[in-house]
């Protein structure tokens, strides 16, 4: 039996309607920006395997460091014990994180990094004896799939069955062009009430919302209001961190610095599951007390896993190399030129770019066509050897930094082909009629 068939007998895939989904594509090997399927076909990973991969697949330098760590110490309980990879990664990250960050709390993934941030913020106010209950978030935000993270995320179809179980959050408009004043007004109205513990935000780019972008200027204004009212600022840099926006962190574009930062995805270069929540001394100090009830009672079995931390250190080495920084600039420039070239095309509603992240929003000509369009575009890209996962009518590119100019050119060609499909210039069979997954 083929791997895909065996998979279908035992696996339940994420974000997948198992009844109607095409058979999964077995991947046997990765190298650079390419993933190789069982049938020998190569795919350009233009979405960095769900936004995690920074330096390409099976990177030999990261593999070497991970291998060495595995043979030295694979794991140790992180309460009462410590180890070099965790300490060194914290030391090095705190040096490059937005100013003021001074403590690092490890977990396993982006959602847990967000859970820890929310618990830090809420308990901070409790520990001070001035409990504040409310959290502010952007209306279309995405902060993860666990309950706390869902609560501060958009009330969307993804979370609908759980709405009654999610704590109440004050949502403000995303301050995209034209909505800035509205967002500021709404945030200010909540802020003055004095019961807001924290504002959590995806800085500059809302990923899952469809790579929705807004300016550092308006975020600075929002954060300034938070500052005036003592509201803690939680930057969810899970997607934007580690060079995605063209700077190391999206927060580097801002004057107002966050109190808490959430990291994951690129943290290990996409090699291992690892999350981290960092905070400034103001937060940390509120947990120091003779009274043990002020402790942050949170931890995961694999907190600060040494192998994951070793991957994090190796990825950081690569990220800070001049060659990688040059690649990041090259991708930024290349995206910029492509965006200019296509923005006027009739089937394209809008092209957005922030650093290495490029989003193309197609005009959805009819609402009924809309959901089908997503599957059509996805299949079209796979057929042409490129992995692009549309968010509805939005296609985005968030490549590993090692992607070559030629590979990036191929990705752009596929997007040009997609716009011909959308505009009707090019006929393309509906996904059910293609044989690509067989
Ligand atoms: C992906 C993502 C998360 C959740 O991370 P997981 O590791 O998938 O749990 C949280 N916040 C943002 C901004 C993300 O993009």
C-beta of 238 in contact with ligand 1 (< 6 A): yes
C-beta of 431 in contact with ligand 1 (< 6 A): no
- Counting ligand 1 atoms within 8 A of each CB, the residue from 51, 111, 116, 204 with the most, and so the one to mutate, is 111
* Residue 369 annotated to the active site: no
Q: Where are the alpha helices (DSSP H) in 157-245?
A: 180-191, 216-228
Among 242, 237, 204, 245, smallest CA distance to 222 is for 204
Per-residue tokens: 378: 């996805």
Provide the pLDDT for residue 436.
Answer: 37
Q: Which of 60-64, 230-234, 289-293, 430-434 has the lowest mean pLDDT?
A: 430-434
* Residue 15 annotated to the active site: yes
H or E element, residue 234: strand 232-236
CA 54 to ligand 1 center in whole angstroms: 16
- Tens of pLDDT, residues 53-90: 999 999 999 999 999 999 999 999 999 999 999 999 99
Provide the pLDDT for residue 16.
Answer: 94
Q: Is the pLDDT of residue 433 over 50?
A: no
C-beta of 109 in contact with ligand 1 (< 6 A): yes
Q: From the alpha carbon of 50, which atom of ligand 1 is closest?
A: 1
Taking the CA atoms of 30, 31, 33 and 36 in sequence, report the sign of the dihedral they define: negative
Contacts of residue 22, defined as CB under 8 A and 6 or more positions apart, other chains included, come to 379, 431, 436, 437
- 318 φ/ψ angles, rounded to the nearest 5 degrees: -65, -40
Provide the pLDDT for residue 434.
Answer: 40
Provide the pLDDT for residue 366.
Answer: 55
**Cα within 13 Å of Cα(124), Cβ side:** 25
């Amino acid at each position: 039996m083929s791997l895909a068939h065996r998979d279908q007998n035992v696996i339940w895939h994420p974000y997948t309607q198992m009844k109607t989904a095409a058979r999964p594509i077995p991947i046997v090997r990765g190298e650079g920006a390419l993933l190789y399927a069982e049938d020998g076909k190569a795919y350009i990973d233009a979405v960095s395997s769900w936004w995690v991969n920074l330096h390409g697949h099976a990177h030999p330098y990261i593999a070497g460091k991970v291998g060495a760590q595995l043979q030295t110490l694979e794991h140790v309980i992180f309460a009462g014990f410590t180890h070099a990879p965790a300490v060194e990664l914290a030391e090095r990250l705190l040096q490059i994180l937005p100013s003021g960050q001074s403590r690092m709390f490890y977990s396993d993934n982006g959602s847990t990094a967000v859970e820890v941030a929310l618990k830090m913020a809420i308990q901070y106010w409790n520990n001070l004896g001035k409990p504040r209950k409310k959290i502010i978030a952007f209306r279309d935000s995405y902060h993860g799939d666990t309950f706390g993270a869902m609560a501060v995320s958009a009330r969307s179809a993804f979370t609908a069955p759980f709405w009654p179980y999610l704590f109440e959050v004050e949502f403000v408009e995303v301050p995209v062009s034209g909505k800035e004043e509205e967002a500021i007004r709404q945030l200010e109205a909540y802020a003055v009430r004095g019961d807001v513990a924290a504002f959590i935000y995806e800085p500059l780019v809302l990923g899952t919302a469809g790579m929705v972008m807004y300016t550092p200027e308006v975020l600075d204004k929002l954060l300034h209001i938070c500052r005036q009212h003592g509201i803690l600022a939680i930057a969810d840099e899970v997607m934007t961190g580690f060079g995605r926006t063209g700077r190391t962190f999206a927060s580097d574009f801002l004057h107002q610095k966050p109190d808490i930062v959430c990291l994951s995805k690129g943290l290990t270069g996409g090699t291992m599951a690892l999350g981290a929540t960092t905070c400034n001394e103001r937060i940390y100090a509120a947990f120091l007390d003779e009274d043990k009830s002020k402790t942050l009672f949170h931890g995961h079995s694999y907190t600060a896993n040494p192998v994951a931390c070793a991957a994090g250190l190796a990825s950081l080495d690569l990220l800070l190399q001049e060659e990688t920084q040059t690649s990041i600039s090259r991708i930024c420039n290349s995206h910029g030129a492509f965006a200019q070239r296509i923005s006027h095309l009739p089937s394209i509603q809008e092209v957005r770019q922030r650093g290495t992240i490029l989003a193309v929003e197609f005009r959805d000509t009819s609402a009924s066509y809309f959901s089908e369009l997503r599957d059509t575009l996805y299949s079209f890209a796979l057929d042409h050897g490129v992995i692009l996962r549309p968010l509805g009518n939005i296609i985005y590119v968030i490549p590993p930094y090692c992607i070559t100019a030629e590979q990036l050119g191929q990705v752009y060609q596929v997007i040009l082909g997609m716009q011909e499909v959308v505009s009707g210039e090019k006929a393309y069979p509906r996904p059910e009629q293609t044989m690509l997954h067989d």
